């Protein structure tokens, strides 16, 4: 069972940078940026979410991937995320982050129909 997980890979020069989101990773990211990831996503449409929010989400996703891989090393920093964004561009970084987040938020589980498809009467 894979569960509510969203993975993305950013090709950065010769290396791959993995991004991972789970519900726990999203909650950690929300605490760091002080707003919900849904608010951040809607903020892009309204123009009130910026580069700083995206860098924080990218850093959170990179850190969750590092922890998941259990390879050790130092924690991912906001400067690491800015370096990735400088290399691949804001658009590519944003697309990868938002696709990974969307996978978590749209997860319906492996057991049974989605809540909106379930019968209202058991």
Instruction: Please tell me the predicted confidence (pLDDT) of residue 55.
Output: 94
pLDDT at 45 over 90: no
Determine the average pLDDT of the residues in 70-86. Answer: 94
Tokens, residue 70? 């259990």
Say how far apart CA 36 and CA 31 lie, in whole Å: 8
> Which pLDDT belongs to residue 122?
46
85/79 Cα distance (integer angstroms): 10
The model's confidence at residue 117, banded by pLDDT at 50, 70 and 90, is: low
Higher pLDDT, 3 or 78: 78
If one counts every other C-beta atom within 10 angstroms of the C-beta of residue 119, the result is 6
How would residue 38 be classed by pLDDT, with cut points 50, 70 and 90?
confident
Domain ranges of the chain: 5-104
Q: What is the pLDDT of residue 64?
A: 95
């Amino acid at each position: 069972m894979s569960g509510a997980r969203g993975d993305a890979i950013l090709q950065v020069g010769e290396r791959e940078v993995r991004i991972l989101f789970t519900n726990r990773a999203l909650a950690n990211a929300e605490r760091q940026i002080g707003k919900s990831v849904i608010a951040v996503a809607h903020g892009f449409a309204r123009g009130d979410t910026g580069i700083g929010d995206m860098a924080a989400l990218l850093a959170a996703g990179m850190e969750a991937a590092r922890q998941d891989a259990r390879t050790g090393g130092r924690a991912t920093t906001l400067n690491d995320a800015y370096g990735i964004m400088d290399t691949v561009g804001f658009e590519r970084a944003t697309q990868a982050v938002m696709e990974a987040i969307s996978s978590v938020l749209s997860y319906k589980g492996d057991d049974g129909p989605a809540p909106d498809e379930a019968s209202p009467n058991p």
